[in-house]
Chain A
Amino acid sequence: MRDAYQDQLDELAASLAGMCDEVAVALDKATRALLESDLHLAEEVITEDIRVDELRDRAEEQAFALLALQAPVATDLRIVVSAIHGAGDIERMGDLALHVAQAARRRHPQPVLPAEVAPYFAEMGRVGCALARKAGEVIRSRDLAKAAELESDDDAMDDLHQHMFSVLMDRNWSHGVEPAVDITLLARFYERYADHAVAVARRIVYVVTGRMPGPLTV
């Protein structure tokens, strides 16, 4: 039997999953802004970040209403607590996409990235967006196999991140300090974005199994 309480829990999950889709779009646009030096797109990401913050506020209100009015126990309590954590992680993903967009805007009309590293960032953007979308699916479906996929997707991101560093540290790096500093931070933003997506999936695994599959914070 469906009741108002179950509906509230479902709405909370839908809010979080919606946030994931929102930050996936943000990272996709930010990455394109970065690769194509598209100022307009960068500014779109920057102004739209407020939407993610609002969605977070709404998800937290829903979570508080559940705690205050329904006093959930057992799995339901785990769901609500995980949602509070998840909302924080996903909001941070939005902030990181925003940082990427800000980097694109700061250097406009100059490209931020030398041509030979651009493909790595295109790939980091692709992996990051896929992780965010997958985290949203895991929230909707509580599919543990899919949750496990995020861990290996994150390994791909870590490899890209490591590779970026070896490129920067190589003696053949010829673009000087300024792009190296930009790239260091940008690669870090993508890597952290992925870490937060993994944290969201881990919380869902915890909801379903009662066990945390990895460190609580990443």
Chain B
Amino acid sequence: MTPDPLPRQLTDLTLLLADMATAAAVAMQHATTALLEGRERLAHQVITGDAEIDLLRARVEEVATDALLFHAPVAGDLRAAVAAIRAAGDLERMGDLALHVAEHTQRARPVPATVCADFAEMGRLAVAMARKAAEVARTRNVLLAVELAGDDDAMDGLHRRMFGVLMDPAWGEGVPAAVDLTLLARYYERYADHAVLVAREVVYAVTGQTPDVLPL
């Protein structure tokens, strides 16, 4: 079989990454709903659906490796192929983190009512960031990519706030709940970190630079 021409492969990579980011966004949206509303079937759907994100990742690696193998791209095209491989790793991890959130739903302890609003907000922000990462992957919009760093600061703020709540002497939900929530908050924070990294890869592919050295 003749390999696809390089521009076609690079377009495919762009679309695959956008699809992965959208799938990761949907997974986290469902996982958060499942978590906060105790919806076990929805949680189960997230857990089984993760395999699809893994398949997309394998497809990205395949297309990118073919691009390297058959076309030996240089400069921007080389960066695009390598950046796609790395971004796919981050996106797969986002899917895994959504899966971890969904797994928590299947445990006995629901999220205490006092912190539901905080987790709803972390979920909302995480999903918005993944959707933005999808948009960045699709459009290669460097300005939008830089916005994600600001969104991540907001997530870090929510994450810190959660620790404040847990460490407060007034925390009345006990240690096991605090341990659960510590991990859950960490999953959202890491998910956001990976969304930032995806955008960073796109910036790198387009400009050859990382976002922090760009005069934006």
Q: A residues within 8 Å of B by Cβ?
A: 63-64, 67-68, 71, 73, 77, 81, 84-85, 88, 165, 168-169, 173, 176-178, 180-181, 184-185, 188, 215-217
User: CA of A67 to CA of B72 in the docked complex: distance in angstroms?
Assistant: 7
A184 and B182 in contact (CB under 8 A), knowing A81-B85, A84-B85?
A: yes
Closest chain A CB from B101 CB (angstroms): 14
Assess the A188–B166 pair: CB atoms within 8 A: no
User: CA of A188 to CA of B89 in the docked complex: distance in angstroms?
Assistant: 20
B96 interface residue, CB < 8 Å from A? yes
Assess the A185–B182 pair: CB atoms within 8 A: yes
Closest chain A CB from B60 CB (angstroms): 11
Contacts of A181 in B (CB 8 A): 163, 166-167, 178-179, 182
A67 and B175 in contact (CB under 8 A), knowing A81-B68, A216-B54, A217-B89?
A: no
Interface residues on B, range: 20 to 34
User: CA of A216 to CA of B176 in the docked complex: distance in angstroms?
Assistant: 32
Closest chain A CB from B16 CB (angstroms): 15
Contacts of B26 in A (CB 8 A): none
Assess the B65–A81 pair: CB atoms within 8 A: yes
Nearest 8 interchain pairs by C-beta = A71-B72, A184-B182, A177-B178, A180-B175, A184-B179, A181-B182, A169-B176, A217-B92
Contacts of A184 in B (CB 8 A): 179, 182-183
Assess the A88–B69 pair: CB atoms within 8 A: no
B58 interface residue, CB < 8 Å from A? yes
Tell me what chain A mostly uses at the interface: helix, strand, loop, or mixed: helix
Bitwise, B58-75 to A at CB < 8 A (1) or not (0) is: 100100010011001011
Closest chain A CB from B208 CB (angstroms): 11
Subset of 11 A-B contacts with CB under 8 Å:
A67-B82, A85-B85, A165-B179, A169-B176, A176-B175, A180-B182, A181-B167, A184-B183, A185-B182, A216-B58, A216-B92
User: CA of A2 to CA of B86 in the docked complex: distance in angstroms?
Assistant: 31
B186 interface residue, CB < 8 Å from A? yes
Tell me what chain B mostly uses at the interface: helix, strand, loop, or mixed: helix
User: CA of A77 to CA of B167 in the docked complex: distance in angstroms?
Assistant: 50
Assess the B186–A188 pair: CB atoms within 8 A: yes
Closest chain B CB from A185 CB (angstroms): 6
Closest chain B CB from A168 CB (angstroms): 5
Assess the B54–A180 pair: CB atoms within 8 A: no
Residue of A nearest to B190 (CB): A192
Contacts of B69 in A (CB 8 A): 73, 77
B132 interface residue, CB < 8 Å from A? no
Contacts of A73 in B (CB 8 A): 69
B42 interface residue, CB < 8 Å from A? no
User: CA of A217 to CA of B97 in the docked complex: distance in angstroms?
Assistant: 12
Closest chain B CB from A161 CB (angstroms): 11
Assess the B82–A177 pair: CB atoms within 8 A: no
List 14 other contacts, CB 8 Å, given A81-B68, A188-B186. Answer: A64-B82, A77-B68, A81-B65, A84-B82, A88-B86, A88-B89, A169-B175, A169-B176, A169-B179, A180-B182, A181-B163, A185-B182, A216-B61, A216-B92
Closest chain A CB from B92 CB (angstroms): 5
User: CA of A68 to CA of B58 in the docked complex: distance in angstroms?
Assistant: 23
Contacts of A67 in B (CB 8 A): 68, 72, 78, 82
Assess the B74–A68 pair: CB atoms within 8 A: yes
